[in-house]
Amino acid sequence: MKPVINKLVIILISTIPFNFYGQSANLSNQEIIDLKYMLEEEKVAHDVYDYLDKKWHLKIFGNIKQSEQRHMEMVEYLLNSYKVSYQFSDEQGMFYNEHLQNMYNDLIEKGSKSEFDALEVGKMIEVVDIEDLEKALKKTTNSDISQVYSTLIFASNNHLRAFNRNLSRFN
């Protein structure tokens, strides 16, 4: 299944037309703000899942962490193709957006309590991610961005179902 998903991501990225003029002027200020936010929000998911994978050794975190890496790459591709400058920390658990930094800290604290809490954190991340992606999708008229956001919403819904399946073990 993973090779199929990887191929799908590569195909999707290759179908996004490259902005040959290299001007972020093709994007609205809101689209730029949303792309930068979504990049760091995907990093929150990745970094939290990485931390929880190391702490609890649950397969779901390792699998979805890899998917979140691809999500970040898709958003970075858009930012780079439109020549939008942005800040992004390669350091685990470090974010430029203060709200996302606080979110990360809170999620790590909650997810460290138990396996159940860790799975609940995963579910919360995906719910928030879907909500934010849907809001951003409504604010863009750019087909490249819409295509990526729609793909990320689809993937996040899959992640949410996976967390719900794992949480059902505790009922």
Nearest residue to 94 via CA among 44, 53, 158, 58: 44
Architecture of 37-170 per CATH?
Up-down Bundle (1.20)
What tokens were used for 57? 């050794």
From first to last of its 171 residues, what are the pLDDT tens digits of the chain?
Answer: 555 555 545 555 555 444 444 445 589 999 999 999 999 999 999 999 999 999 999 999 999 999 999 999 999 999 999 999 999 999 999 999 999 999 999 999 999 999 999 999 999 999 999 999 999 999 999 999 999 999 999 999 999 999 999 999 997
Place of tokens 């809170």: 106
Could you tell me if 116 and 170 are in contact, meaning their C-beta atoms sit under 8 angstroms apart? Answer: yes
Determine contact, residues 29/37, Cβ cutoff 8 Å.
Answer: no
Tokens of 48: 């939290």
pTM over 0.85: yes
At 22 the pLDDT is 44
The secondary structure of 19-62 as a DSSP string is: -TT--GGGS-HHHHHHHHHHHHHHHHHHHHHHHHHHHH--HHHH
Separation between Cα atoms, residue 114 and residue 120, nearest integer Å: 10
Distance of CA 124 to the CA centre of its chain: 13
